[in-house]
Structure 1
Amino acid sequence: MSTTISVIGVGYLGAVHAASMAELGHDVIGLDVDADRVAALNDGRAPFHEPGFEQILRRGLQADRLRFTTDYADLADVEVHFLGLGTPQRTDGNGADLSYLRAAADSLREVLPARGGAPTLVVGKSTVPVGTARTLAEQLGAVQGVHLIWNPEFLREGFAVKDTLAPDRLVYGVADPEDHEATEAAAGRLDAVYAQILERGTTRLVMGFEAAELVKASANAFLATKISFINAISEICEATGADVTDVARAIGMDDRIGPKFLRAGVGFGGGCLPKDIRAFMASAEDLGVGESLAFLREVDAINGRRRTRVVELAVELLGAETTSGLRGRRITVLGAAFKPDSDDVRDSPALEVACRLREAGAQVRITDPEALAGAARRAPGLETEQDTDQALRGAELVLLLTEWGQYKELDPARTRELVEVPRIIDGRNVLEPRQWREAGWEFRALGRP
């Protein structure tokens, strides 16, 4: 059964959610204050790179099930409103900036009564500090017949469409899980939106607001911890001559641990994990239990050290004493996005390393299949080159820092013909060292002898 839906905030999260809900057959209005973004989406142009997104966007538009607006008045008759606003790190600390979310809730509250008192469901998707949902429920509570559910997202960039249409679980946070009548009334309405997903057997978990908020924060903190754990082991491997890939493969066979997120390398980045673990720490401090998450400071610090270690390896391979010895040296960086299948350069390890090398005086050329426009905006003056072969020509050192498939599949013998000196740092541990060394390359990787 079709439901009229709005998605407020059509950045990465909101735009994918809006198009996915239209794909499920609902009538969807996406709202954003950015008129240029709204115009692009209405024209069927994706403002970011995400596999599969542009296809479902265009299908929704062509079927007249999806449109975008800047006017809250267009939402007056909507049955279910999703809040997909960004919660970036505050400029004055580690906490989350909730100003966009609060402003959207205020604007939405002004149009909610237009439904003539008919029940309306508001669903929070944003990643927020614990306590936010209850505050928003009070903010919206002045409008009769409005129910709030907190429904955190668990999207992976590069797989966001799949993760929205076929999630591994649906979490519903409600004001009082013991109030079964109110909970079932609100949850039943969200079930109708997700009916096709639930019919496939997807697990639905109902809990309190605070638990739902903590599920998202805890999941991101755990993933960041697992990545930094193997990178800490990588540091020990470098000191002892052990191979971190051997260690990771062996411990990953323990089903209590598992192999995912155990690839040592230059670390995590993007718009979620770094800012979310910092916001989680700030939230714990506000609650008076900061020591409980003190370990996340070291998780964050380990992640930062990996970027520094790549710069140190570049100095070492180029035979310099310090970073000042990099002046004028020609370095090619493969990758600008924080991960493959994305054009997101927010807190990208690859881009940060490239900028550090350039600041040291090196002649840095960076290439990426999708993220060069974002890299140019974030790091004006950095030399970019779309063509991989052209980017490699004349390099004295190559750094593989984003594991795009085309970089993992580079032929070492052919690539050697393009560079000036065959030296490479595999910052993602995705290349076969022996193959590259046999082709004449000086090869280094993080945590490997």
Structure 2
Amino acid sequence: MRVSVIGCGYLGAVHAAAMASLGHEVVGIDVDEAKVALLRAGRAPFFEPGLPELLTEAGAAGGLTFGTDIAAVAGAKVHFVCVGTPQMAGEFRADLTYVDASVTALLPYLRPGDVVAGKSTVPVGTAERLAQLVEPTGATLVWNPEFLREGFAVNDTLHPDRLVYGLPTDDDGVVTPAGEAARAALDEVYATPLADETPLVVTDYATAQLVKVAANSFLATKISFINAMAELCEATGADVTRLADAIGYDNRIGRRFLNAGLGFGGGCLPKDIRAFMARAGELGVDQALTFLREVDSINIRRRERMVELAREVVGGSLTGKRVAVLGATFKPDSDDIRDSPALSVADGLEKQGAHVVVTDPQGVANARAKWPNLHYADDVLTAAQDADVVLLATEWAQYRALEPDALAAVVAHRNLLDGRNVLDPAHWRAAGWTYRALGRP
């Protein structure tokens, strides 16, 4: 099938390459000429494991092209809208400028029977509004939310844990004939994962739009819950990691994402839960999501607490102290620094007078562009040279594998802050280090 992908950022570039690898003829469209030039050359404009190989293979096979001219989508059967929905400046609401512009730009090229598949995360009600624009062309709008994890996006696209189709329904909730035809087109697009027995949920517009924000809100709540427990553990002398182990054995709760530390960041969870709250307010049901305000607040407090902990470790004042921050990205296996807890803490340390040196395997260039007030190093030992305290802020595998003696050879003082609770305290303390972490005695 010939398909188009509008927007070639984290979601769109991966989706385009993955669809081409499944045998479809794919054209990717983006307004960023530099990004398009990289993609045409088979190079990923951001770090995502497995994507360069996928781009190279798909490009060599001739089934994947990229451009800036929307007219290139003509003749495609399914058009995937994959543009960003950032948080509006000064507000919690999602900015739908790019979604609206993409659908509007598609209209002249839509034919009867075509499918416009929204994948962007949008406030509930958006699909219903956009459907009114699409329907006069004879095409059908569906909502097909994405569930990608940065660092695992290629696998999550080729081998998703579920597929969701939000289809148009009549007043009785029955999928319309146009919706059934659109479903058949999506089934053809996703024939390979469906053949692998990927679960498929077919539902209405509203439910499909709620799935992603509900999932992100639940995940954010789970992370903030254990971080709230970390605050209690600090006040009582309890150990939050042992607490998480104990409650995680309950299969109703589970151990995954019960890892106390600096909390969540990135381009999805923070802005999605805020947009969810804003939309609930517009619908008059804001009380249903008031708990998300505390989820967001707990998440921010963990960053502030880490700055306080650093100040305690170095004797009460950060002025003139050298701090090595290991990690700049919001998570490992990514170069994404959006709403990064690591950089938020680094900036907080610098504002209290510390000399902060940040290192990261992939995120230094992006971090330097956005946070020029900080200092940067290409490797851990350079960053930790003469440091008064070392802070592990992003749990990259190479940081988790660090040996205390190697780091001790370059630092001024053996003070370690484990911002992700991933290191062995006994191992580091045995090597003469002062080990501190959020929620641990």
Which TM-score band (shorter chain)? over 0.9
Higher mean displacement: 358-367 or 272-281: 358-367
Structure 1 counterpart of 2:97, from 96, 99, 102: 99
Following superposition, the deviation at residue 180 of structure 1 comes to 5.4
Question: 1:255 aligns to what?
Answer: 251
Question: 2:390 aligns to what?
Answer: 398
Question: 1:226 aligns to what?
Answer: 222
Provide the C-alpha distance between the structure 2 equivalents of 1:56 and 1:175, rounded to a whole number of angstroms: 33
Provide the C-alpha distance between the structure 2 equivalents of 1:83 and 1:414, rounded to a whole number of angstroms: 48
Aligned positions, number: 438
Following superposition, the deviation at residue 356 of structure 1 comes to 1.1
Provide the C-alpha distance between the structure 2 equivalents of 1:305 and 1:103, rounded to a whole number of angstroms: 37
Provide the C-alpha distance between the structure 2 equivalents of 1:65 and 1:17, rounded to a whole number of angstroms: 13
Provide the C-alpha distance between the structure 2 equivalents of 1:379 and 1:300, rounded to a whole number of angstroms: 23
Q: Say whether residues 1:382 and 2:378 are aligned partners.
A: no
Structure 2 counterpart of 1:414, from 406, 410, 422: 406
Q: Say whether residues 1:235 and 2:231 are aligned partners.
A: yes
Q: What is the one-letter code of the residue matched to 1:414?
A: A
Q: What is the one-letter code of the residue matched to 2:43?
A: R
Provide the C-alpha distance between the structure 1 equivalents of 2:36 and 2:55, rounded to a whole number of angstroms: 12
Question: 1:299 aligns to what?
Answer: 295
Percent sequence identity over aligned pairs: 56
Provide the C-alpha distance between the structure 1 equivalents of 2:162 and 2:379, rounded to a whole number of angstroms: 40
Q: Say whether residues 1:111 and 2:109 are aligned partners.
A: yes
Matched residue SS, 1:142 = helix
Output the TM-score relative to the length of structure 1: 0.96
Q: Say whether residues 1:166 and 2:159 are aligned partners.
A: yes
Q: Say whether residues 1:311 and 2:307 are aligned partners.
A: yes
CA deviation profile, 1:25-70 (whole Å, cap 9, x unmatched):
1110000111111111101111100100111011111111101011
Following superposition, the deviation at residue 372 of structure 1 comes to 0.3
Q: What is the one-letter code of the residue matched to 1:373?
A: A
CA deviation profile, 1:294-348 (whole Å, cap 9, x unmatched):
000000000000000000001100001xxxx211111000000000000000000
Question: 1:132 aligns to what?
Answer: 126
Structure 1 counterpart of 2:188, from 179, 186, 192: 192
Output the TM-score relative to the length of structure 2: 0.98
Provide the C-alpha distance between the structure 2 equivalents of 1:315 and 1:178, rounded to a whole number of angstroms: 60
Unaligned runs of 5+ in 2: none
RMSD: 0.9
Question: 2:349 aligns to what?
Answer: 357
Matched residue SS, 2:163 = strand
Q: Which aligned pairs between 1:77-88 and structure 2 lie closer than 5 A? A: 77-88=75-86
Q: Say whether residues 1:7 and 2:5 are aligned partners.
A: yes
Following superposition, the deviation at residue 142 of structure 1 comes to 1.7
Following superposition, the deviation at residue 416 of structure 1 comes to 1.0
Question: 2:174 aligns to what?
Answer: 178
Q: What is the one-letter code of the residue matched to 2:114?
A: T
Q: What is the one-letter code of the residue matched to 1:338?
A: F
Following superposition, the deviation at residue 360 of structure 1 comes to 1.4
Provide the C-alpha distance between the structure 1 equivalents of 2:249 and 2:149, rounded to a whole number of angstroms: 23
Provide the C-alpha distance between the structure 1 equivalents of 2:373 and 2:346, rounded to a whole number of angstroms: 12
Provide the C-alpha distance between the structure 2 equivalents of 1:415 and 1:326, rounded to a whole number of angstroms: 21
Provide the C-alpha distance between the structure 1 equivalents of 2:367 and 2:257, rounded to a whole number of angstroms: 25
Structure 1 counterpart of 2:114, from 111, 120, 129: 120
Q: Say whether residues 1:342 and 2:338 are aligned partners.
A: no
Following superposition, the deviation at residue 414 of structure 1 comes to 1.9
